[in-house]
């Protein structure tokens, strides 16, 4: 099964460069149609446990062995849990990104391909359809990613795994898999250890870049401080 998924230009570039293999998307609880109740649900639920029959179930108490035993013996055999709306392992996602049609040359331009001056390079056709050099274009008005049709998408992903996690539980390794590089420490040592990173290994950890980018996109509805539940979708690129 295929479903669309939207990525920003920065994340599209990370996918194209092979740096991004994960994405986190908000868990939106069934039957909660307003921002207030969705926010309350993220505060009220404490634990997410996978069901044997598929999906996840959310509880209003912290994880305990007794809760897990009850869940394994009773609940997960009674019904399915909440499924990830983006799909399951083996399903495919086609990427929507900011774009524009180039009717003159019969092609699609992608905003993520712009250089620092706003230019986009493209291969010009020569005689007989062969390459005729490199052209440049500047686009005055872009089409929002939500309007991209399937045929215009250039990136197709395959889901490798899906899990549920609190936003703030992201590790540095996963932040790197999200496409963030951070700034590693060169370790300037003193008698008390590294004075630059305090022995963490990072001057600017990838998770900090992830947090800042998250808030720039989701800060009004689901800020980092809310610590919402997220679908953690691991994928591999099969077409780009």
pLDDT in tens, 59-68: 877 666 566 6
Least confident of 4-18, 20-34, 142-156: 20-34
- Chain segment 150-168, per-residue pLDDT in tens: 999 999 999 999 999 999 9
Q: Averaged over 99-114, what is the pLDDT?
A: 89
Asked whether residue 66 is domain-assigned, the answer is no
Q: Is residue 162 part of a domain?
A: no
CA R_g for the chain: 22
Residue 133 belongs to domain spanning = 99-143
This model's pTM is above 0.85 = no
Residues 100 and 168: their CA atoms lie apart, in Å, by 36
In a domain, 76, yes or no: no
C-alpha to C-alpha distance for 240 and 235, rounded to whole angstroms: 13
The answer to whether position 207 is within a domain reads no
Q: Is a pLDDT exceeding 60 seen at residue 9?
A: yes
Number of structural domains found in the chain: 1
Residue 97 has pLDDT above 60, yes or no: yes
CA-closest candidate to residue 93, choices 16, 163, 31, 153: 153
**Phi (first) and psi of residue 91, to 5 degrees:** -75, 160
Q: Is residue 42 part of a domain?
A: no
The predicted model gives 185-197 an average pLDDT of 63
Residue 196 within a domain: no
Contacts of 220 (CB under 8 A, 6+ apart): none
The residues near 70 (Cβ < 8 Å, ≥ 6 apart) are none
Q: How far apart are CA 218 and CA 166, in angstroms?
A: 15
- Domain membership flag for residue 110: yes
Distance from the first to the final alpha carbon of the chain: 18
pLDDT surpasses 60 at 43: yes
Of 148, 67, 57, the C-alpha closest to 101 is: 148
């Amino acid at each position: 099964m295929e479903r669309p998924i939207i990525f920003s230009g920065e994340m599209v570039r990370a996918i194209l460069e092979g740096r991004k293999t994960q994405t986190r998307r908000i868990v939106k609880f069934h039957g909660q149609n307003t921002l207030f109740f969705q926010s309350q649900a993220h505060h009220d639920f404490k634990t997410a446990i996978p069901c044997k029959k598929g999906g996840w179930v959310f509880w209003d108490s912290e994880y305990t062995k007794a809760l897990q035993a009850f869940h394994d013996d009773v609940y997960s055999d009674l019904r399915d849990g909440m499924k990830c709306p983006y799909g399951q392992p083996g399903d495919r996602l086609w990427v929507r990104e900011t774009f524009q049609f180039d009717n003159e040359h019969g092609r699609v331009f992608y905003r993520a391909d712009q250089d620092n001056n706003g230019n986009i390079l493209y291969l010009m056709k020569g005689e007989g359809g062969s390459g005729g050099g490199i052209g440049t274009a500047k686009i005055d008005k872009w089409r929002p990613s939500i309007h991209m049709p399937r045929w215009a998408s250039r990136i197709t992903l395959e889901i490798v795994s899906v899990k549920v996690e609190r936003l703030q539980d992201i590790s540095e390794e996963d932040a790197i898999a999200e496409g963030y590089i951070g700034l590693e420490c060169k370790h300037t040592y003193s008698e008390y250890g590294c004075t630059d990173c305090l022995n963490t290994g990072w001057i600017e950890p990838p998770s900090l870049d992830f947090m800042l980018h998250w808030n720039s996109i989701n800060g009004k509805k689901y800020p980092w401080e809310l610590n919402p539940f997220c679908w953690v979708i691991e994928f591999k690129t099969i077409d780009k």
